[in-house]
Chain A
Amino acid sequence: MRRVGIIGASYTKFGERFDVNMQELAWEAFSDAIKEANIEKDAIDYFVLSNMGGWSSESLPAVIVSEGLGINPKGSVRVEAACASGSSAVKLAHDIVASGQANVVLALGIEKMRESPTKTVVEYIGRAGNFMWEFENFGLTFPGYYALYATAYMSKYSVKEEDLCEVAVKNHYYGSFNEKAQFRNKITVEKCMSSPYVAWPLKLYDCSPITDGAAAVLIASEDFIKEHKSETAWISGIGYATGTANLSKRDDFTGLEAAKRAALQAYARAGLDPEKPASQLDLAEVHDCFTIAEVMAYEDLGFAKKGEGIKLVKEKQTYKGGLIPVNLDGGLKAKGHPIGATGESMIAELYHQLLGKVKGERQTDIKKGRALAHNVGGTGHYAYVTVLSLEKGGVA
């Protein structure tokens, strides 16, 4: 297997993007990534599009986007791993390059969720579990699924709703410095606490929004990188796992088994000590689709002991300057969560952070040269953990 690196990445302004159609939105992310990588688009050998869709009008988004980008007749495919679709696209692109079949692959995620009314979008994501046994009769929603985890977690570890709000406060704080974030407002625990319930005990400010957005990552082989002297972050480990479709088939509702497995796999491949991963990383992007999800992520990734995730955020250990800064782009919570593009946007953020290219307040010190993206699809249905490094190494 060949070494594989990222040579350019970008994400669009996230939010309600009624000003562009799907092709125009994809073009924004793509043209910035190509410019950054300093390559001609002819260099792209293959294209992986991540998109969940249903709420948007196009049934074949990969060909719509490919035509718009002007990269036909290069091969393409659309992948889906719910909210982890983006990371699954990065993994597929990585594997194609690593195998020697291609030198440059584009992974581009896109979602136009706002083409449908809110209740329809809520319905589509609610169906993203087991349709017959969890949606058809019981009308679960995405916040509802995570609320089942929140209730169990809060009961077991005596956590209060105020505690969960601390995660939203942090992510809105960093979102306020990110010009591409959907929400640029700082919030307080009080503001979070006074927001209405979406799925008790989760409130509006515990939840990521419905978002339009696109993100592109250009993935290349070591040979190509050498030849083009590209600014590179290497993919040094990818871990992945799948959880049960039915939430009822799980034993524990205080953590995501698939995410734990994905993390251990990624650490082994990247050569990280699973006993102290936080101390070997400069920063992490974690999947905070809901505040409870970020708290569980800390524990599933081994940044905190079981039941102590809340302590980490309350003690500001996941702010800049703490044990490990998490979601310096505002996270899904404030940056926004365009399902199929979230994974690539996490990778784009880490790429820029590692290379010191993030403007202003959000850039963290890069001392170890390693960063991690934790991207969960559905409610722990899919999990991908990707480790990027400035040094070559690992067996991704």
Chain B
Amino acid sequence: MSDETEKLEEAAEESKKKLGSPIVTDQKTLSSLWFDQRELNVRYLVSVEKIKKFYEGISAGKVMATKCAKCGEIYFPPQSYCSKCGSDSMDWIELSGTGELLTYTVINVKPQSFSHYPDYVVGIARMPQGVNVLAWIDGDTGKLKVGMKVRLEVKKRDPEGYLTYWIKPE
């Protein structure tokens, strides 16, 4: 729950005691607002059945993409079929070697579910295999430059404690 919501909840509890209803007043416009008494928590179950090999790769420290066995198109994020030629015969290849940093940013104002992290740096790297990868940038982010050499690495993301891929300046 955000600080904003916590304050509203306190005010709503107060109002329920006084008025009987959870009515809060917006401090700026002085309008009356009903403070929702139903809370919705959402967590999705997203299928990764057809790209399980990607997670096997991550487990072995590799970032994998798929390559169409028929037309050669490479997909990252990995895809189990080829949007280009329609084939569903895909090979797995590793995205490795030295890439180029195309662009980056620092996320200062964070979404609710990322608010426990310090400001993080996100970049997009062009890999020698010809596809781009978007990820957090690890390492000395103070010296970043568009066009600099980078590589991918697999590392744990804390505090959640799961493996993911990062862009690392060389």
| Contact yes or no, A122 B112, CB < 8 A | yes
Contact-size category for B: 35 or more
| Contact yes or no, B146 A151, CB < 8 A | yes
Given known contacts A151-B146, A155-B146, A198 and B117 CB-to-CB distance under 8 angstroms: no
Q: Shortest CB–CB separation between residue B59 and chain A, in angstroms?
A: 16
| Contact yes or no, A18 B33, CB < 8 A | yes
Given known contacts A120-B112, A132-B77, A197 and B106 CB-to-CB distance under 8 angstroms: yes
| Contact yes or no, B102 A253, CB < 8 A | yes
From 224 to 248 in chain A, residues with beta carbon under 8 angstroms from any chain B beta carbon are 246-248
Complex CA gap A120/B113 in Å reads 8
Complex CA gap A39/B96 in Å reads 65
Complex CA gap A263/B111 in Å reads 33
Q: Say whether A322 faces chain B, with CB atoms less than 8 Å apart.
A: no
Q: Say whether B136 faces chain A, with CB atoms less than 8 Å apart.
A: yes
Specify which chain A residues have a CB less than 8 angstroms from the CB of B114 in the assembled complex.
139
| Contact yes or no, A139 B117, CB < 8 A | yes
From 65 to 106 in chain A, residues with beta carbon under 8 angstroms from any chain B beta carbon are none
Specify which chain B residues have a CB less than 8 angstroms from the CB of A196 in the assembled complex.
108
Complex CA gap A137/B111 in Å reads 12
Q: Shortest CB–CB separation between residue B146 and chain A, in angstroms?
A: 4
Specify which chain B residues have a CB less than 8 angstroms from the CB of A138 in the assembled complex.
120, 122, 134-136
Given known contacts A134-B134, A148-B103, A248-B76, A200 and B122 CB-to-CB distance under 8 angstroms: no
| Contact yes or no, B117 A246, CB < 8 A | no
Q: Shortest CB–CB separation between residue B7 and chain A, in angstroms?
A: 10
Q: Say whether B55 faces chain A, with CB atoms less than 8 Å apart.
A: no
Number of A-B pairs whose CB atoms are under 8 Å?
A: 123
Complex CA gap A198/B119 in Å reads 10
Complex CA gap A138/B113 in Å reads 11
| Contact yes or no, A119 B77, CB < 8 A | no
Q: Which residue of B lies closest to A134 (CB)?
A: B134
Specify which chain A residues have a CB less than 8 angstroms from the CB of B2 in the assembled complex.
117-120
Select one of A19, A119, A151, A198 contacting B103, CB under 8 A.
A151
Select one of B108, B122, B157 contacting A140, CB under 8 A.
B122
| Contact yes or no, A123 B29, CB < 8 A | no
Given known contacts A139-B120, A148-B124, A151-B146, A133 and B112 CB-to-CB distance under 8 angstroms: no
Q: Say whether A16 faces chain B, with CB atoms less than 8 Å apart.
A: yes
Given known contacts A148-B103, A152-B102, A122 and B111 CB-to-CB distance under 8 angstroms: yes
Q: Which residue of B lies closest to A197 (CB)?
A: B108
Complex CA gap A139/B117 in Å reads 10
From 150 to 170 in chain B, residues with beta carbon under 8 angstroms from any chain A beta carbon are 157, 164
Per-residue contact bits, chain B 109-133, to A (CB 8 Å; 1 contact, 0 not)? 1111111010010101000000111
Chain A residues with CB under 8 Å of chain B are 16, 18-19, 57, 117-120, 122-123, 126-127, 130-135, 137-141, 143-144, 147-152, 155-156, 196-202, 246-250, 253
Query: Given contacts A117-B112, A148-B104, A200-B106, could you give 20 more A-B pairs where the C-beta distance is less than 8 Å?
Result: A18-B26, A18-B28, A119-B111, A119-B112, A131-B46, A138-B122, A139-B111, A139-B113, A139-B117, A139-B120, A140-B134, A143-B109, A144-B107, A147-B105, A148-B103, A150-B105, A151-B105, A152-B102, A197-B108, A202-B105
* Pairs across A and B, CB under 8 Å, 10 listed: A16-B29, A117-B2, A122-B109, A127-B111, A131-B46, A139-B107, A141-B107, A155-B145, A200-B105, A248-B76
The 8 closest A-B pairs by CB, nearest first: A139-B114, A147-B105, A123-B111, A18-B31, A155-B146, A152-B103, A200-B106, A119-B112
Chain B residues with CB under 8 Å of chain A are 2, 4-5, 26, 28-29, 31, 33, 36, 44, 46, 76-77, 102-115, 117, 120, 122, 124, 131-136, 145-147, 157, 164
